[in-house]
């Protein structure tokens, strides 16, 4: 029986593992460094709230995510946004934006096909995908959390993975579904000239703060998806806010609401400032934009240092060079760090990694 090791239990790694497990001839091991699976998808469900700590949805045009959801048996849990329009905040206050204007406020490009369509998610939160993948994989693959890989190397018959505790695993194929800089460290000299470029991969950091209030504490209709702050009006890195409990159904208990504030901080600030400092920044920011009284009922601070890849032309060339260098070996790269940021890209990349096993004759 062929053996495949997937390093990294985020969405891309789990998708690859799930697709590979459909073949009875393949044994799959997933090695995840963190305490739980999911990577940048983490949904907290407590006290009637569903709080997204990472991704909150995926692009409407995605075909790969609904297809994966259907194969996992959770296609009927997909939902769209309850509302579509957003507000922009500038010194003249809040005003409703035209479709696409929110992206312009934040100076990023959205394809015309995606304009005004919003995003899709799952009724219980994005982690539904992870829970379903974990559920399906538990009986068919070996899933290990707290397994920190330190080295991936080509061998005569495939590739091997060494863990922090010194244990070594051999496989016919290794899928590296890890962030770019971690992958550079895992593969070291086997990346050839692409090593330096991956080790210095450009990234952005993110902090999000979710604040829960009684509905009566916020004197606004909350009748949109949220607000974006004009680039020249941003303070403390606060770029946008989501009216989470208005944007999607079942996000908060009756009579309460939650607001999610998005910061774009330096990696140093992500680590340096404690949760209380981020909460104070979020409260000050939300009070600038909305009439809010009193203190939040609950708060959730989520830190993502160096988490978001930046696909500059230079970085795309580095990824292409890394893949060309690895092509003769039984090692493939997967994940949104290599194949395009976001949930849709992570699923497509996981599908492609599993297809590699077929090309190599490991699966039927
Ligand atoms: C705050 C935030 C909001 C986002 N919002 C959206 C959104 O709304 N829509 C959207 O499309 N995308 C969004 N994204 C991006 C999206 O979540 C990611 O693109 C996607 O989840 C990445 O999946 P992945 O499997 O490629 O990588 P990851 O989720 O990063 O998984 C990589 C895994 O590798 C593990 N790992 C690292 N090193 C090792 C090692 N040495 N050994 C073993 N395991 C290791 C990590 O612990 C991690 O679990 C958001 C991201 C963030 C941070």
For residues 11-27, average pLDDT: 92
pTM: 0.96
The finding on whether 118 has its CB within 6 A of some atom of ligand 1 is: no
User: Tokens standing for 159?
Assistant: 């590739």
The finding on whether 334 has its CB within 6 A of some atom of ligand 1 is: no
- In the predicted model, is pLDDT for residue 311 greater than 90? yes
Residue intervals of the chain classified under CATH 3.50.50.60 are 2-39+128-201+310-359
Residue 267 CA to ligand 1 centre (angstroms): 16
- Whether 3 contacts 142, CB under 8 Å: no
Residue among 220, 167, 240, 203 at smallest CA distance from 336: 203
Dump pLDDT digits (tens) for 167-189: 999 999 999 999 999 999 999 99
Dump pLDDT digits (tens) for 215-229: 999 999 999 999 999
pLDDT for the residue numbered 108: 54
CB proximity list for 46: less than 8 A, separation 6 or greater: none
The finding on whether 336 has its CB within 6 A of some atom of ligand 1 is: yes
pLDDT for the residue numbered 157: 92
The finding on whether 12 has its CB within 6 A of some atom of ligand 1 is: yes
- In the predicted model, is pLDDT for residue 12 greater than 70? yes
Q: State the closest ligand 1 atom to the C-alpha of 208, by its place in the atom list counted from 1.
A: 1
- Whether 337 contacts 346, CB under 8 Å: no
The finding on whether 178 has its CB within 6 A of some atom of ligand 1 is: yes
Q: pLDDT category, 61, cuts 50, 70, 90?
A: very high
CA distance 147 to 143: 10
Could you tell which of 40, 185, 335 is best to mutate to test the pocket of ligand 1, judged by most ligand atoms within 8 Å of the CB?
40
- Whether 69 contacts 78, CB under 8 Å: yes
Residue 12 CA to ligand 1 centre (angstroms): 8
Torsion angle of the four alpha carbons 62, 67, 69, 71, in this order, in degrees rounded to the nearest 10? -170
The finding on whether 304 has its CB within 6 A of some atom of ligand 1 is: yes
Ligand 1, atom 6: nearest CA belongs to which residue?
A: 55
Ligand 1, atom 39: nearest CA belongs to which residue?
A: 33
Q: State the closest ligand 1 atom to the C-alpha of 206, by its place in the atom list counted from 1.
A: 1
Q: State the closest ligand 1 atom to the C-alpha of 38, by its place in the atom list counted from 1.
A: 49
Nearest 5°: the CA angle 47, 51, 56 is 155
Residue among 41, 44, 63, 48 at smallest CA distance from 129: 41
CB proximity list for 119: less than 8 A, separation 6 or greater: 56, 57, 58, 59, 60, 80, 81
pLDDT for the residue numbered 300: 98
Residue among 205, 207, 232 at smallest CA distance from 88: 232
User: Tokens standing for 276?
Assistant: 């209380």
Ligand 1, atom 15: nearest CA belongs to which residue?
A: 342
For residues 351-361, average pLDDT: 89
The finding on whether 8 has its CB within 6 A of some atom of ligand 1 is: yes
The finding on whether 57 has its CB within 6 A of some atom of ligand 1 is: yes
Residue intervals of the chain classified under CATH 3.90.660.20 are 82-117+203-308
Residue 281 CA to ligand 1 centre (angstroms): 25
pLDDT for the residue numbered 231: 85
For domain 82-117+203-308, say whether CATH 3.90.660.20 is its number.
yes
Q: State the closest ligand 1 atom to the C-alpha of 343, by its place in the atom list counted from 1.
A: 11
Residue 76 CA to ligand 1 centre (angstroms): 24
Q: Which CATH class is domain 2-39+128-201+310-359?
A: alpha beta
Dump pLDDT digits (tens) for 84-121: 999 999 888 999 998 777 766 665 555 666 667 789 99
Q: State the closest ligand 1 atom to the C-alpha of 53, by its place in the atom list counted from 1.
A: 1
CA distance 206 to 357: 34
Sheet containing 173-176: order of strands:
142-145, 26-32, 2-7, 173-176, 331-333
DSSP code, position 111: -
Mean pLDDT of the chain: 94
The finding on whether 7 has its CB within 6 A of some atom of ligand 1 is: yes
For the ranges 32-36, 69-73, 267-271, 328-332, the lowest mean pLDDT is seen at: 267-271
CA distance 138 to 18: 10
For the ranges 48-52, 104-108, 131-135, 258-262, the lowest mean pLDDT is seen at: 104-108
For the ranges 4-8, 67-71, 108-112, 135-139, the lowest mean pLDDT is seen at: 108-112
Ligand 1, atom 13: nearest CA belongs to which residue?
A: 55
Q: pLDDT category, 266, cuts 50, 70, 90?
A: confident
For residues 45-72, average pLDDT: 96
End-to-end CA distance of the chain: 12
For residues 47-54, average pLDDT: 96
What are the respective helix, strand and coil percentages of the chain, to the nearest 5?
Answer: 35, 30, 35
For residues 119-135, average pLDDT: 97
What 3 state SS string does 328-354 have?
A: CCCEEECCHHHHCCCHHHHHHHHHHHH
DSSP code, position 362: S
């Amino acid at each position: 029986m062929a053996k495949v090791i997937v390093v990294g239990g985020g969405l891309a790694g789990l998708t690859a593992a799930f697709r590979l497990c459909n073949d009875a001839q393949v044994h799959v091991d997933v090695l995840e460094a963190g305490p739980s699976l999911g990577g940048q998808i983490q949904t907290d469900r407590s006290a009637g709230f569903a709080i997204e700590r990472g991704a909150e949805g995926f692009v409407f045009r995605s075909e790969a995510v609904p297809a994966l959801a259907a194969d996992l048996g959770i296609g009927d849990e997909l939902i769209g946004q309850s509302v579509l329009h957003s507000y922009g905040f500038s010194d003249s206050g809040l005003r409703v934006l035209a479709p696409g204007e929110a992206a312009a406020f934040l100076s990023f490009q959205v394809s015309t096909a995606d304009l005004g369509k919003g995003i899709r998610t799952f009724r219980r939160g994005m982690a539904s995908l992870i829970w379903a993948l974990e559920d399906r994989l538990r009986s068919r693959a070996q899933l290990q959390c707290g397994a920190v890989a330190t080295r991936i190397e080509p061998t005569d018959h495939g590739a091997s993975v060494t863990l922090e505790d010194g244990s070594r695993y051999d496989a016919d194929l290794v899928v590296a579904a890890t962030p770019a800089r971690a992958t550079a460290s895992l593969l070291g000299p086997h990346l050839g000239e692409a090593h330096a470029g991956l080790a210095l991969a450009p990234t952005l950091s993110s902090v999000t703060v979710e604040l829960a209030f009684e509905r009566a504490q916020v004197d606004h209709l909350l009748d949109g998806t949220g607000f974006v702050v004009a680039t020249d009006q941003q303070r403390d890195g606060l770029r946008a806010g989501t009216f989470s409990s208005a944007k999607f159904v079942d996000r908060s208990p009756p009579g309460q609401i939650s607001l999610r504030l998005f910061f774009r901080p330096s990696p140093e600030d992500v680590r340096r400032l404690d949760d209380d400092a981020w909460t104070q920044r979020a409260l000050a920011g939300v009070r600038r934009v909305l009439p809010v009284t009193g203190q939040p009922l609950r708060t959730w601070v989520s830190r993502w240092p160096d988490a978001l890849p930046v696909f500059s032309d230079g970085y795309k060339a580095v990824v292409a060079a890394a893949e060309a260098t690895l092509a003769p070996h039984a090692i493939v790269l997967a994940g949104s760090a290599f194949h395009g940021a976001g949930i849709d890209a992570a699923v497509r990349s996981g599908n492609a990694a599993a297809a590699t096993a077929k090309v190599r004759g490991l699966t039927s």
